[in-house]
């Protein structure tokens, strides 16, 4: 600039260079002052810290397994705080209302069941005889079947003849429906022996004669004879229905009627009728209830010895000794 106040060209060029630099320095210094002032204002504002209060007794668990612990100042005991682990909803068991089951009182055991249970062991002995084993294992031969039926005919004829003499009206109607003598006569006509030795000695078996004498001794207490009806005809109505299936598999062409009692409904009716007659023994004949059980056991013993003699080939006759034969009743 000259004395007149005018700016020369050299002075103008220098000012163009330095003016931007001065402007930048001025702006940066101003920003620095602004930031430092803000930091000082923030540091001057002190936020008071809130002191943690000890938890109430409601939130204290004195013995939780594997949880974080915190020792409070001035306290010697360690207070446990439960961890804030979130349990998935699926793992939370639902509370179901427990349903009280109604316990039905046990029904008293019937006299029929008591009698059958008391003779269960004796029934198992009969099942192991040669005749019964051959039938259940489906290995019975034609000769065994023929001898068995011819022997049963004489056995049932003795029982039914003596029982008719008792004149027990309440039992007589049942016997008329289940009697087997005529049925076995027809079966024996069909089962003709292939040789005389198949049925040799069957018509005069010693066991049948002993059995007949025992039945005749029950005339003073004829209701006890129904124990033998229970063993013989009850065996046909219950277990005999399973034996019938085995026989049909062994001899499919034979039309034997020994185990036939009509359709299933009629068999069921006869079973229930037999149960009712046996259950009525303690009421109708109270003095004979205990003896009735004993007579059932004797009927099983007679049947076991009879089945043993019906085996084929016929067993060798044994001497009568007290060791190999139970005492006569």
Is residue 8 within 8 A of residue 18, CB to CB? The reply is no
If one compares 16 and 207, the residue with the highest pLDDT of the two is 207
Judge whether 92 lies within some domain: no
26 within some domain: no
Mean pLDDT for 103-112 is 80
CATH of the domain at 156: 1.20.910.10
165 Cβ contact partners less than 8 Å away, ≥ 6 residues apart: 219
pLDDT at 320 over 80: no
Structural domain for 117, as ranges: 111-309
Least confident of 81-95, 167-181, 232-246: 81-95
Burial class (CB within 10 angstroms; exposed 0-12, middle 13-18, buried 19+) of 212 = middle
The conformational region for residue 162 under phi > 0 = left, psi -120 to 50 = alpha, else beta, is alpha
Cα–Cα distance measured from residue 62 to residue 57, given in angstroms and rounded to the nearest whole number: 10
pLDDT score of 120 more than 70: yes
Gyration radius (Cα) of the chain, Å: 53
Contact yes or no for 60/80 (Cβ under 8 A): yes
pLDDT number for residue 98: 61
**Average pLDDT of span 260-277:** 96
Res 55 pLDDT > 70: no
pLDDT at site 321: 42
**Percentage of the chain modeled with pLDDT above 90:** 50
Distance between start and end Cα atoms, the chain: 165
Asked whether residue 27 carries a pLDDT value surpassing 50, the answer given is no
**Band of residue 201 on the pLDDT scale cut at 50, 70, 90:** confident
User: How far is residue 220's CA from residue 218's CA, in Å, rounded to a whole number?
Assistant: 5
Structurally, the chain folds into a number of domains equal to 1
| DSSP conformation letters of 81-131 | ----PPPPGGGSPPP-PPPPPP-PPPPPPPHHHHHHHHTHHHHHHHHTSHH
What does the pLDDT read at residue 62?
Answer: 57
Which pLDDT score, from 0 to 100, does residue 43 have? 46
E-assigned strand segments in 157-312: none
**Is 203 domain-assigned?**
yes
Mean pLDDT for the stretch of residues 56-60 = 52
Choice between 63 and 159, residue whose per-residue pLDDT is larger: 159
Distance CA 143, CA 258 (A): 17
Q: What is the pLDDT of residue 93?
A: 57
Q: What is the mean pLDDT of residues 281-298?
A: 94
Whether 8 has a pLDDT exceeding 60, the answer reads no
How many CA within 13 A on the CB side of residue 231? Answer: 28
Is 103 a domain residue? no
Evaluate whether residue 18 is within a structural domain.
Answer: no
- Examine residue 121 and state whether it is found in any structural domain, yes or no: yes
80 burial level (CB within 10 Å; 0-12, 13-18, 19+): middle
Specify if 50 maps to a domain: no
- Mean pLDDT for 137-154 is 94
Say if 298 falls within a structural domain.
yes
pLDDT digits (tens, 9 = 90+) for 63-99: 555 544 445 445 455 455 555 555 555 555 565 656 6
């Amino acid at each position: 600039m000259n004395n007149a106040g005018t700016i020369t060209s050299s002075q103008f060029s220098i000012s163009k260079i330095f003016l931007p630099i001065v402007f930048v320095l001025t702006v940066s210094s101003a920003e620095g002052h602004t930031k430092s002032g803000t930091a000082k204002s923030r540091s001057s504002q002190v936020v008071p810290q809130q002191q943690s209060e000890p938890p109430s007794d409601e939130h204290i668990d004195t013995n939780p397994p594997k949880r974080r612990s915190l020792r409070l100042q001035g306290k010697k005991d360690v207070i446990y705080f439960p961890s804030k682990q979130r349990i998935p909803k699926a793992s939370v068991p639902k509370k179901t209302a427990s349903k009280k089951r109604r316990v039905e009182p046990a029904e008293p055991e019937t006299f029929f069941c008591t009698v059958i249970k008391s003779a269960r062991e004796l029934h198992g002995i009969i099942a192991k005889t040669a005749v019964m084993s051959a039938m259940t294992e489906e290995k019975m031969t034609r000769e065994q079947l023929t001898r068995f039926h011819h022997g049963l005919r004489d056995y049932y004829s003795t029982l039914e003849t003596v029982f008719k003499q008792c004149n027990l009206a309440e039992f007589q109607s049942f016997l008329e429906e289940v009697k087997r003598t005529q049925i076995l006569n027809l079966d024996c006509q069909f089962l003709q022996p292939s040789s005389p030795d198949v049925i040799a000695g069957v018509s005069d078996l010693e066991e049948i004669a002993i059995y007949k004498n025992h039945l005749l001794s029950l005339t003073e207490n004829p209701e006890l004879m129904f124990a033998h009806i229970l063993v013989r005809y009850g065996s046909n109505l219950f277990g005999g229905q399973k034996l019938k299936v085995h026989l049909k598999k062994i001899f499919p062409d034979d039309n034997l009627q020994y185990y036939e009692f009509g359709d299933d409904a009629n068999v069921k009716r006869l079973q229930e009728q037999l149960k009712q007659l046996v259950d009525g023994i303690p009421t109708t004949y109270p003095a004979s209830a205990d003896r009735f059980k004993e007579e059932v056991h004797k009927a099983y013993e007679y049947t076991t010895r009879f089945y043993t003699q019906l085996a084929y080939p016929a067993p060798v006759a044994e001497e009568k000794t007290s060791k190999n034969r139970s005492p006569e009743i």
